[in-house]
Amino acid sequence: MIKIYDDGVTFPKGFTASGVHAGIRKNKLKRDLALIAAEKSVPAAAVYTLNTVKGAPLIVTKRHLENGYARAIICNSGNANTCNADGEEIAEKTSELLGRCLGADAGDVIVASTGVIGQRLSMEPFERGIPELVNTLSAEGGKDAAEAIMTTDTRLKQAAAECLIGGRPVRVGGIAKGSGMINPNMATMLVFVTTDAAISPETLQKAVSLDVRDSFNMITVDGDTSTNDMFAVMASGQAGNDEIKAMTPEFEKFSKLLSTVTRTLCKKIAADGEGATKLLECRISGAATKELARKAAKAVVGSALVKAAMFGSDANWGRVLCALGYSDTALDAGKADVAFVSAAGKIDVCASGSGIDFSEETAKSVLSENEIVIDVDLHCGIFGAVAWGCDLTYDYVKINGDYRT
């Protein structure tokens, strides 16, 4: 049985964290530099954006993780360190400085950045902030780290869970940031996860790569794939379980534990989409293949017209079928059923590809809740998928109209 906790990256054994204001962001009340540290170099894995324009920190981190091990994750907010001539130099120098302060190898540092693209980044904030980060590391510092990676996020995002694997309690904890420029197609925004499971770098990488297909790859807020998306995991091995091997019952248990945390973070990211008032979840069933189910679910939550209808609490189910139709799902429009579900109830709006009589008043009530499920049965097979998104509001344009300035 998996137990869920309101905790983050310091929930698993063997990790400390901290977050400080280093001066990257103008607002002195906002933390802008985060650190997550293990007691020694531990197995690590990551996945990155598929955008061909990649932030310098991703390029550096990928080099550092070639051996499958890391000691720490450092992340700044307020500046993406992307499209800068000296971006890789800054990321490497940051790693070197942190390594000296931790007594670790610079190559054991995962480095990440988030914020505005194309603005120069100085080493001065890191020189000022890293010693303080290291000196304030603690088992209670997870929330400070989660706060320090936020940009336009309106709420802190963390999750944790625990279950028995091989008779030992194994924990997974994570933090995330993400509000806009979210259409990952790899991992997501920025997500940092820790676990105390004993697992090899190769097996951990397999778990991460499998997980992301049904977690962060299934979120879309605005259809923009970021330059800096990263999902990184470190494993301390302090749970005391026998080392988890790939494709075993223990691996399946660990994958479910990891999925519990990542899916919780997915929902928090989608619900906090820029300007959003509602979390949208599309549940597809009856698809011919798993991949077609994924495409269908993501097309629905990614449709600007569907998102706008949900903002207005308008049961415009035709927009759902329209999105399905261009999603390359081998859709037989004459078979699809659509229903809207929320805490206020469920209302069927389409059966066998055609409209059915329903109460507009009831539909309005169902769609006025802050979490909406769009339930679609394609009746074309046995596969399903879930995707997450949010409504499209006036505030999205307001936020992004002057984001840089």
Active site residues: 188
Q: Which H or E run contains 268?
A: helix 249-271
Please state, in angstroms and rounded to a whole number, the distance separating the CA atoms of residues 206 and 201.
9
- How many CB atoms are located within 10 Å of the residue 360 CB? 10
Nearest of 127, 131, 186 to residue 18 by alpha carbon: 131
Q: Report which DSSP code applies to 55.
A: -
Helices and strands in the chain, H and E counts: 11, 15
Three-state DSSP state, 392: coil
Please state, in angstroms and rounded to a whole number, the distance separating the CA atoms of residues 347 and 338.
9
Helices 304-311 and 290-302, packing angle to 10 deg: 50
Is the CA virtual torsion 320, 177, 233, 2 positive or negative?
negative
Helices 249-271 and 201-214, packing angle to 10 deg: 50
Place of tokens 């993780």: 65
Q: What stretches of 79-215 show up as alpha helix (H) in DSSP?
A: 87-102, 124-135, 142-148, 201-214
Please state, in angstroms and rounded to a whole number, the distance separating the CA atoms of residues 321 and 360.
19
Nearest of 339, 334, 347, 323 to residue 379 by alpha carbon: 334
Please state, in angstroms and rounded to a whole number, the distance separating the CA atoms of residues 312 and 308.
6
Q: Residue 18 pairs with which residues in a beta bridge?
A: 35
